[in-house]
Amino acid sequence: MEFLSEYVFSVFFVETLLNGLLYGGVLALLSLGLNLIFGVIDVVWICYAELVMLGMYTIYFMHVFYGLPLIPAALIAVLVVAVLGVVLHKVVINHVLGKAPINQLLATGGVLFFLQSIATLFFGVEFLSLGVSLGSFQLSEDIYMSTSQFVAFLVAAGAVVAMYLFLSRSYMGAAIRAISQDRDIMILMGVDANRLYGITSAIGGGLAGLAACLLSLQFDVHPFVGISFGPIVFMICVMGGLGNMVGGFLAAFVFAELIAIGGYFADLEWGTVLAFCVFVITMFIRPEGLFARKS
């Protein structure tokens, strides 16, 4: 009973749940683009977090170095990463489409190391900070909410709704869904698959750029910032069902809450252990992912 009153019926537990929710928003935003790419093109961009890193550098240089206001700098970052997404598709992905998955993984894995090295070469190893803080707002005497994480949460939710509407209501969205369901038939029906893949890569890249803008408010940028997110985001996508955007979105919150709650009741590291255990069990019980639709 004492344990319950001290740990569970406590404002700090409420804050822990909120922490999980907000962290989930960050992870959900990161998982969106990766899931879209996999769902449509059927290739996993292992280097996705490195595209986010380049987006963070873009916003840093636009805002700090060239003195652009934050919003235009963010828009440029989204555009730059969207273009990088298309370039990645044209230069690398296009050549491994339809090849063995291991080859695709190795190719995008190679891009990961290439981008890390290029960033080290051009930008150095220093941690660069945007120097902007959105602060926080107080919900009660002891509970605060990070504004930047709250914005990330809202943007992630908005982005998933926008993507849902785009894919379900627009002509282009219908075409993207169609090609993700049957690549061969769509090509036989005269659809320009390359164009659709290019558009999808641009949207995926743009989502990475959007994530970069919000992450820049919370994290310093350095060539290896992707290490902190890449593996977790990939697992979230697998847990939610690779290619399933809504599944990935929900899995991000499950994952983040497990980390937060586990870290609250035990040592911090146990939170991650708990999340990984649930991931492994999920893979045994539902290898197609927690929220995958039954085919």
Partner 1 sequence: MRVSRLLKGLAVSVAALALVTAPASAADKKIKIGVIYDYSGPLAGGGSELQALGAKSMIDYFNEQGGVEGYKIEAIYADAQSKPDVAINEAVRLIEQEKVDMLLGFYSSAQCVPVSAKVDSLKKFMWITTCISPAVLKDRGLKYVFRPQVHGGMFGELSAEFIAANAKSKLGMDAKKVRVAIIHEDGPYGVGVAAGNEAKSKALGMNVVLKEGYAATASDLSALVTKLKRAKPDVILHTGYNPDITLFLRQAKERGLKFKALIGHGAGYGVADQLYDALGKDVDYFFNVDPVSIWLLNPASLKAGLGDVTTMVGNKYMAAKPDTKVKSSHVGMAASNAHVFFSDVLPRAIKKYGGIDAESLRKAALDTDIPEGGTLLGFGVKFPEPGKTAMDGQNLRASPVVMQYVNREVKIAWPKALQTIDPVLPLPSSSPYAK
Binding site for partner 1 (CB under 8 A): 10, 12, 15-16, 19, 22-23, 26, 116-117, 120, 124-129, 131, 133, 135-136, 138, 142, 144, 146-149, 218-220, 222-225, 227-229, 232, 256, 259-260, 263-264, 267-269, 271-272
CB of 205 to partner 1, least distance (A): 21
Closest CA to 243 of 44, 3, 20: 44
CB of 278 to partner 1, least distance (A): 17
CB of 126 to partner 1, least distance (A): 5
Quote the crossing angle between the two packed helices 101-123 and 48-60, to the nearest 10°: 20
Distance CA 243, CA 237 (A): 7
Burial bucket for residue 117 (CB in 10 Å: 0-12, 13-18, 19+): exposed
Taking the least distance from each CB to partner 1, the nearer of 43 and 56 is 56
Taking the least distance from each CB to partner 1, the nearer of 137 and 174 is 137
CA dihedral 245, 45, 128, 154 (to 10 degrees): -10
- Under 8 Å between Cβ of 73 and 62: yes
- DSSP state, residue 91: I
Taking the least distance from each CB to partner 1, the nearer of 87 and 137 is 137
Closest CA to 263 of 279, 250, 276: 276
Among left, alpha and beta (phi > 0; psi -120 to 50; other), residue 80 is alpha
Count other C-beta atoms under 10 Å from residue 232's C-beta. 21
CB of 23 to partner 1, least distance (A): 5
Taking the least distance from each CB to partner 1, the nearer of 223 and 248 is 223
CB of 95 to partner 1, least distance (A): 28
CB of 138 to partner 1, least distance (A): 7
Distance CA 104, CA 77 (A): 26
CB of 120 to partner 1, least distance (A): 5
Taking the least distance from each CB to partner 1, the nearer of 119 and 238 is 119
Taking the least distance from each CB to partner 1, the nearer of 128 and 179 is 128
Taking the least distance from each CB to partner 1, the nearer of 103 and 133 is 133
Among left, alpha and beta (phi > 0; psi -120 to 50; other), residue 241 is left
- Under 8 Å between Cβ of 123 and 57: yes
Count other C-beta atoms under 10 Å from residue 274's C-beta. 17
CB of 237 to partner 1, least distance (A): 16
- Under 8 Å between Cβ of 241 and 291: yes
Taking the least distance from each CB to partner 1, the nearer of 45 and 219 is 219
Among left, alpha and beta (phi > 0; psi -120 to 50; other), residue 197 is alpha
